[in-house]
Amino acid sequence: MSRKVTRRDLLAGAAGAIGAATLAPAGQRVHAQDTTKSPGGPASALGARSRHEPLARGRVTSLSSRTPLQDLHGMITPSDVHFERHHGGVPAIDPDDYRLLIHGLVERPTMLTLAELKRFPATSRICFLECSGNYPTGAGPETRPELVCGMTATTEWTGVSLATLFREVGARSDATWFLAEGQDAAVMTRSVPMEKAWDDALIAYAQNGEALRPSQGYPARLLLPGWEGNSNVKWLRRLELADQPFMTREETSKYTDPLADGTARQFSFVFDARSIITSPAYPDVVEPGWIELRGIAWSGRGTIAQVDVSTDGGRTWQAAQLQEPVLRQAHTRFRHLWRWDGSETEIMSRATDDTGYVQPTRAALRAVRGRRARGYHLNPITAWRIQPNGQVYYREEPPWDA
Amino acid sequence: MGRVTLTGTFAARMVVAVFASGVAGFLLAAPAGAQNVGGGAEQGAPPQFGFGRAATAEEIAAWDIDVTPDGTGLPEGEGTAASGAPVYARQCAVCHGASGEGSIADRLVGYTPETTPPFGPRYEEWRGDGPDVPYSVGNYWPYATTLFDYIRRAMPSNAPGTLEADQVYGLVAWILAENGLIAADETMNATTLPAVEMPARDIFVPQER
């Protein structure tokens, strides 16, 4: 072996390129690669991904990017591929300059530094976070899972219970709503019922065990388990307690749902149950024989109780296996073994949560939401069409307003 | 919430508003009958940790920019469609279109059916075989005050928070007048803006939780 081992080789994990291949007598390789005959790369400060396993958020625009659901295997979303949706860009906040103001209907209007926030008793919560607009109206057959509903992610969030902070400042009994405001260029504001604060809301400063990523609200954000992403205000700088909602733009002309009956649903915080098969999916090509259908299910209402899978276009359904732990308001993995006979069919999944809510078909959802739905809070069953040649396609839906 | 225009159900917020205005100084005491609420305290936790410090009136006033439907938070100043038009042309038209018809940013101006929001059974009857009416400020914004709040905090998106109060009042007046919701010469200020009747005012119902 004459070639010098370079740092680049080691960092790239390309040890096989420098190891001796095991040669058969005729000079042909029995095994393509033998990494056991020379030391591998050294330890490092940060663990990089294998160069064979690139992972990246999909459809990156200046305003958003998507979690590559089809490339993931677990319930926790790696922090660097958590979807993004910003309204005024990602602010660069110096943690030493960070302040959180709590005022309004409180006994003691209070200013907190980041260090002070971290002194309060900490608590952690594993839950999903999902963008309110997570449905691909008008998607064609060549649509990957990340483009169907990639604006959802599950994370272990750590921070301070909002109830702890509201007790600290002396929240008054006549406070029924609070305003959460960010320090991004949109100065994002949403009104949140006080019940959520007393129930399970957090001010989160950590994400999967480390400080929040800037794109997730560093150094601190509001976290409302199971509630629409937009209300989980990032880069949080102000909480104002009041006796009614503030009627901000994001809770009136945006993030509301026109309904078929002529009313518009407002404060649609809680996500209904949803699921999607993430494998196989477009652009996979499958072979006849055994296939494990894999996917995720989640509900803002509670815990996933059951996921049913159909491999015959929705005519019959079988209960899929749920991967433990099954946590409240968190992505839940499901799997189902299926033997494909090679004929054209459609596969789909349907989630049921512990409130008895069943994920609707697109037709059922449209009957309630009407022809002029605005793309928020849509959770219909997603189907994949498998052609006889094994090519998997997203099953197109008719135009929403048809 | 620097200006005090409080009546009715917003009376409870007066303490806050007066405090933020700086007029009455430090009015921190809660009214009689107020008490702390909430559950979930961990066993052994003290009633208070004593972390953080009292926020000053100046600090609160600097950040407290929200405007609510009864007009609380609206600053002094005024504007008309005529005063807002040049501001709109300079600051807004590039994204929202010369006439508010929408471009890379939202549509602001649109035909408003007089008898129905732009969806639902009455709308479908009104529309017949005609084209759809776009969503706009005129038919889907329930409160005129939200326009002031949003424009002041977040617009224009390349330089948010830089418009003067008179400019914001002018822009709000221009948008409302173009939608036919106020007269072309009507002045918008802290008194007149909350009184503007928005067609979408009563279509919203809260989600049951």
CA pair distance A47, A68, nearest whole angstrom: 20
What distance in Å separates residue A184's CA from the closest CA in chain B?
A: 9
Q: What's the pLDDT score for residue A335? A: 98
- How far from A132 is each of A92, A112, A376, CA to CA, in Å? 25, 30, 5
Of B166, B163, B145, give the one whose Cα is nearest residue B154.
B163
Q: How confident is the model at residue B21 (pLDDT cuts 50, 70, 90)?
A: very low
A362-376, B28-42, B93-107, B173-187: the lowest-pLDDT one: B28-42
SS3 A320: coil
Given a contact cutoff of 8 angstroms between Cβ atoms, the answer to whether A191 and A246 are in contact is yes
SS3 A293: strand
DSSP for A145-170 reads: HHHHH-SEEEEEEEEEEHHHHHHHHT
CA pair distance A91, B112, nearest whole angstrom: 38
- How far from A14 is each of A3, A49, A99, A158, A355, CA to CA, in Å? 13, 13, 47, 37, 51
Average pLDDT, chain A: 94
SS3 B16: helix
Q: Does the beta carbon of A161 lie under 8 angstroms from any beta carbon of chain B?
A: yes
CA pair distance A140, A148, nearest whole angstrom: 10
Task: Tell me, rounded to whole angstroms, the distance of Cα A237 from its chain centroid.
Answer: 24
Series of mean pLDDT values for 10-residue runs along chain A (402 residues): 45 44 63 93 95 94 96 98 98 98 98 98 98 93 98 98 98 98 98 98 98 98 98 98 98 97 96 98 98 98 98 98 98 98 98 98 96 95 98 94 84
SS3 A379: coil
Of A396, A145, A140, A137, give the one whose Cα is nearest residue A277.
A145
pLDDT one-digit tens code per residue, B64-96: 999 999 999 999 999 999 999 999 999 999 999
Q: What's the pLDDT score for residue B152? A: 98
CA pair distance A151, A82, nearest whole angstrom: 8
- What domains sit in chain A, N to C, each tagged with a CATH number? 64-252 (3.90.420.10), 274-394 (2.60.40.650)
pLDDT one-digit tens code per residue, B122-174: 999 999 999 999 999 999 999 999 999 999 999 999 999 999 999 999 999 99
Find the CB nearest A88 among B15, B121, B154. Answer: B154
Q: What's the pLDDT score for residue A371? A: 94
pLDDT one-digit tens code per residue, A288-304: 999 999 999 999 999 99
Q: What's the pLDDT score for residue A25? A: 62
User: Are β-strands A236-242 and A99-104 bridged in parallel, bridged antiparallel, or unpaired?
Assistant: parallel
**Interface touch B12/A105, C-beta < 8 Å:** yes
Of B189, B15, B163, give the one whose Cα is nearest residue A240.
B15
ipTM of the prediction? 0.90
Q: What's the pLDDT score for residue B112? A: 74
Residues of chain B neighbouring A238 (CB-CB closer than 8 A): 63-64
Given a contact cutoff of 8 angstroms between Cβ atoms, the answer to whether B173 and B79 are in contact is yes
CB pairs under 8 A between A and B: 212
**Interface touch A87/B48, C-beta < 8 Å:** no
What distance in Å separates residue B68's CA from the closest CA in chain A?
A: 5
Q: What's the pLDDT score for residue B44? A: 82
pLDDT one-digit tens code per residue, A164-213: 999 999 999 999 999 999 999 999 999 999 999 999 999 999 999 999 99
Q: Strand locations in A236-328, DSSP E?
A: 236-242, 257-258, 264-266, 274-279, 289-298, 304-310, 318-319, 321-322
Q: Does the beta carbon of A243 lie under 8 angstroms from any beta carbon of chain B?
A: yes
**Interface touch A242/B45, C-beta < 8 Å:** no
pLDDT one-digit tens code per residue, A297-351: 999 999 999 999 999 999 999 999 999 999 999 999 999 999 999 999 999 999 9
Question: Where in the sequence of chain B do the CATH 1.10.760.10 domains occur?
Answer: 78-195
Of B136, B159, B176, give the one whose Cα is nearest residue B90.
B159
Exposure letters B149-187 (e unless 16+ CB within 10 A, then b): bbbbbbbbeeebeebebbbbbbbbbbbbbbbebbeeeeb
Taking only residues 67 to 96 of chain B, the set having a beta carbon closer than 8 angstroms to any beta carbon of chain A reads 68-69
Of A197, A108, A127, A204, give the one whose Cα is nearest residue A160.
A204
Q: Strand locations in chain B, DSSP E?
A: 53-54, 78-79, 188-189, 204-206
Instruction: Pull the structure tokens for residue A79.
Output: 């922090």
pTM comes to: 0.88
**Interface touch A371/B124, C-beta < 8 Å:** yes
Taking only residues 97 to 116 of chain A, the set having a beta carbon closer than 8 angstroms to any beta carbon of chain B reads 101-105, 107-113, 116
SS3 A71: helix
Q: According to CATH, what is the number of the domain B78-195?
A: 1.10.760.10
